[in-house]
Amino acid sequence: MKKNFYSLAGAAVVLALASCNKSEVTSVPVPDAISFRTHVGMATKAAPKTAFAAGDKFNVWASYDNAGSVSRYFLDNFKFDGSYWYSDSTPYYWPSEVDASHPMTFHAVWPETVARPLAADAFSYAVVDAADSQKDVLYAKHVSATRETSGVSLNFRHTLSQVLVKARNSSGTLKFEVSGIKIAYVNKTGDFKALSVASSTTDERDNANLAQSDWTVTDGAASASRSYVQAGMSASVAPDAAASVLGEPWMLIPQVQAKADSYTSSAADAPMDGAYLAVKMTVKNASDGSVVASERWCCWPVALNWTPGYRYTYVINLADGGFEETNGDDGNDDLDPVLENQEIFFVDCTVDAWDVSDNNVIL
């Protein structure tokens, strides 16, 4: 039997600029008080958060090298007033000793509600199930060798990977009604520690991308039951349709997963073992609307190799049929072909020769 899976992955570009408006008197930094100027990375990165708005907050972990002893100076959140970021509780001031030999190091995480640093450059994070509630999580680092009284520049980088599913239809006779999508066999929680990140400023935009190794998963080995599902959608993919987006993008922890094995129908009840995308769909004949297959979860095995800050777009050809999840969502699925050889067709069509009749009718 053929192996029915298609996937395309690519990085997409989103331009993201955070502006600094210095026309308001309230935006002038307090002398010697620590404040920040920010930028969200762009280039090959893509995620919902592309700029900051007044009222946004991020957590800052600041450490100070004092005579060779490095210790935390403060851990607090800073709030954006539209131009600069100031402490949301009490002002923090620059130590007079800050210089190249006694630098101040800042680690910042946005948003403050989902990521509280465990250490200078580390935090734990769990991705929620609902795609429309998932957060972009940003990280920035900066080392100051002098008191930067005009504000510290921070270039934020996306710590997660964005995953987008598109569907196309190469069949000229079938249409597909989609009511759900799923990605399965993924880790959901992890610890982030920016081992490879150099100091960044808005003058160093889009350099030193975060690494996949900056994440360590904490929820054990992935399994088929560990999945993200978007249900209740309603999308119709017409015959010969080009690729179109299904559902919402996911914001997920960067990771590597092998693709699921492809089983034949003789391997009934064999457990899924590896990553796959799935689409819940009803297949109909486009001409008369008759149902070929109703409300089937159909799988496309796909290997995952996600890096922070990149969008991965998977394009599925629904006409390929995929494999059926015969046991649904209980985590003990097997892969049987859905559409393979189900289309009605005819072969060896012949036409009889005309019989020669001797009973000619003469008028």
Taking only the tens place, the pLDDT of each residue in 80-130 is: 888 888 988 888 998 888 888 888 888 889 988 877 777 777 899 999 999
Q: What is the pLDDT of residue 129?
A: 96
Please give the structure tokens belonging to residue 193: 């520690």
pLDDT in tens, 19-70: 222 222 223 334 577 888 777 754 334 446 778 888 999 999 988 877 677 7
Band of residue 326 on the pLDDT scale cut at 50, 70, 90? low
